[in-house]
Amino acid sequence: MATLQQAPRLIHQGKKFEKKTIFYQTPQDLVDIILNNLEGKAGNQMKIMWVLLGTAGDGSFRVSEKWMQERTGMSQQAYNRARKALVERGWLRLEKGCIYLLLDEIRAQGTTSSCVPNCGTTSGFTGTTSSSAPGTTSNPSQAQHDVVYNIKENKINIKEIEKLESQFGKDGSLLKGEGWIDTYIPNFYDLAREKQIEMLSATPIFGLTAMQAEYVVDKILG
């Protein structure tokens, strides 16, 4: 206990969470095991594990190489090499279009820290803003919207995604009816992104919520 009392206290200067900040949720026990098993030279493997562990893993979210590169700053080659190493380590499995994060296997390979109550955790997880470089957040492009869909209160589940992808074609066609999106919303493709989302959610024939309309604009129409 004397050693703990002599250790420096951690103080964050500045506001940690901005309004509506996107953040990762990572269980401390898993983070401890990963940190203790990965050597310093395995930094890219750590990046992948941190992002995957902190991101929703219920199948509603697709991890594209582009998204991972924007989150971590890795090149495609570096990402593929690090991911392969994690597969060989037994922490990841790639199968049938899915990346499986094997949590039970990870827990079986190590021990957690001996951290006592109040030594630095909050509610069993640590939080960090979802950014690809210190002091910056990713631009509001494909990558950031991918993360937005994982926020608990706004998340689109897999059934909604399947429904939307069976309803709208990438070219704006209506797959379950006649015509195109701009049949019902004139000059749709001349509108700004925010206006496209607003008009899609406000047009009764589509029956979309604002979040569903955002998914259509960002993920289907691209």
**CATH at residue 27:** 1.10.10
Residue 132 confidence class, pLDDT cut points 50, 70, 90:
very low
Q: Per-residue pLDDT averaged across 23-35, rounded?
A: 84
Number of separate domains in the chain: 2
Domain check: are 115 and 160 in the same one? no
* SS3 of the chain: helix, strand, coil, percent, to 5: 45, 10, 40
Domain check: are 113 and 25 in the same one? yes
Residue 3 confidence class, pLDDT cut points 50, 70, 90:
low
Determine the structural domain holding residue 187 and report its residue range: 156-220
Q: Per-residue pLDDT averaged across 112-128, rounded?
A: 43
Domain check: are 116 and 174 in the same one? no
Domain check: are 61 and 102 in the same one? yes
Task: State the average pLDDT for the chain.
Answer: 77
Domain check: are 116 and 170 in the same one? no
Please give the pLDDT value at position 155.
Answer: 58
Q: CB pairs under 8 A, 24+ apart, for 168-176?
A: 168/216, 168/220, 168/221, 169/220, 170/220, 170/221, 170/222, 172/221
